[in-house]
Amino acid sequence: NSILVLNGPNLSRLGKREPEIYGHQTLDDINRGVAESFPDIRFVFFQSEEEGQLLEKLFECEDRGGFIGVILNAGAYTHYSIALRDAISAVGLPVVEVHLSNIFAREEFRRSSVISEVCMGVISGFGANSYHLGVRSLLGIAPRKKR
Ligand code: DQA
């Protein structure tokens, strides 16, 4: 019963990256907070700057089995990676798309996501809390998607 928390490019820089938009917590802070909030869940945390590594982690978790689903902040890949979208479609795991910022209240190019359509849902704009809400949603929907 594991959940993969998958973060894409530039999210390794949280804490010092545009804190007025993304907050002051580092990715480690956020991950620790999530793990502490859900002590009964086993989390796998993974971040990469590279698209292919994100895809491979998804495949690896599907193959390994035992995953309830995935919390995914794909960073900028959200807006243009058809490869990521196809990978989400390819795996049988429910994926919740999360964003720290409200992507609908920012630049025009951030308002569209190419992955939303193949995700269970989108949580955007609640800072670190987006991840917590993501886990809650996954726990709520997981029984229906169990395979
Ligand atoms: C982000 C929003 C994206 O538009 C941006 O490219 C990111 C972070 C967010 O969490 O708000 O890297 O996904």
pLDDT of 146 higher than 60: no
Minimum CA distance residue for ligand 1 atom 9: 99
Residue 110 CB less than 6 A away from ligand 1: yes
- Angstrom CA distances, 55 to 51, 86, 104, 125, stand at 7, 9, 25, 25
Question: What's residue 52's pLDDT?
Answer: 98
How many A from CA of 7 to the centre of ligand 1? 10
Write down the mean pLDDT value for the chain: 95
**CATH 1.25.40.10 at 2-145, yes or no:** no
Residues 52-109 pLDDT 10s? 999 999 999 999 999 999 999 999 999 999 999 999 999 999 999 999 999 999 999 9
- Pocket flag, ligand 1, residue 17 (CB < 6 Å): no
Does residue 12 carry a pLDDT above 60?
yes
The C-alpha atoms of residue 96 and residue 42 are separated, in whole angstroms, by: 17
Model confidence at 25: pLDDT above 70:
yes
Confidence at 141, pLDDT banded by 50, 70, 90? confident
DSSP letter string, 40-85:
TSEEEEEE-S-HHHHHHHHHHHHHH--EEEEEEE-GGGGGT-HHHH
Reply yes or no on whether the pLDDT at 147 is more than 60.
no
Beta bridge partners of 96: 71, 121
The percentage of the chain sitting over the pLDDT mark of 70, rounded to a whole number, equals: 96
Atom of ligand 1 nearest to the CA of 110: 4
